[in-house]
Amino acid sequence: MPNQIDKDKYDLPTLFLAFLAFCLPLALLIPGFSIWDIVPKTHVTRYFVFRQDVSWSQLNAIAIAVLLTLFCLYLEIKRRKLDEMVEDVLRVSEQADKVMEIEKERQVAAIKDTINLLDVSSAQYENLMLLSDDLRKRALQRPPAIDSSSS
């Protein structure tokens, strides 16, 4: 499985455009070679404003400029999509932080209430124990004996 290409890692249109964008200028370094040897020379004759002969070097430069522009446009679109995803993640993270802060405050309040209840219940328990001791002491003390009088 390590030989299998990860589709998220390699994007074919990006690789193709990168190949074109970086290999076409290298083709200009080879003397006597032109990519347009494969394509016939273009002669624009429809409108007199554009009526001119386009040389191979001009066609190469135009093609490279167009490809670079398209590649940059493609990269800009990808960057904007990534920026939107990052903004969404940050927004969700901020909302989660707010919810966690609210939950933390609620738990702190619950802990304070529990501590107060424990304090009150321990005070009540102490009072009950004192009352219990007092009742025992009173139960052990016998009331004074009442002498019957002879009348």
Bridge partner residues of 52 (DSSP):
44
Q: What is the pLDDT of residue 15?
A: 80
The 10s digit of each residue's pLDDT in 5-28 is 555 566 778 888 887 777 777 666
Q: Indicate if the pLDDT at residue 128 is higher than 70.
A: yes
**Domain range list for the chain:** 12-140
Provide the pLDDT confidence category of residue 36 given band limits of 50, 70 and 90: low
| CA triple 116-121-123, angle to 5 deg | 95
Q: What is the average pLDDT across 68-73?
A: 95
In this prediction, residue 1 carries a pLDDT of: 46
Estimate the crossing angle of helix 12-27 against helix 56-140, to 10 degrees. 140
Per-residue model confidence (pLDDT) at position 119: 94
Give 54's contacts (C-beta < 8 A, 6+ positions apart): 41, 42, 43, 44, 62
Contact at 8 Å (CB) between 83 and 22? no
The stretch 101-129 carries a mean pLDDT of: 95
Higher pLDDT: 33 or 73? It is: 73
Average pLDDT, the chain: 81
Give residue 6's pLDDT. 56
Most confident of 17-31, 35-49, 74-88: 74-88
3-state secondary structure of 47: coil
Given this model, what pLDDT does residue 19 score? 78
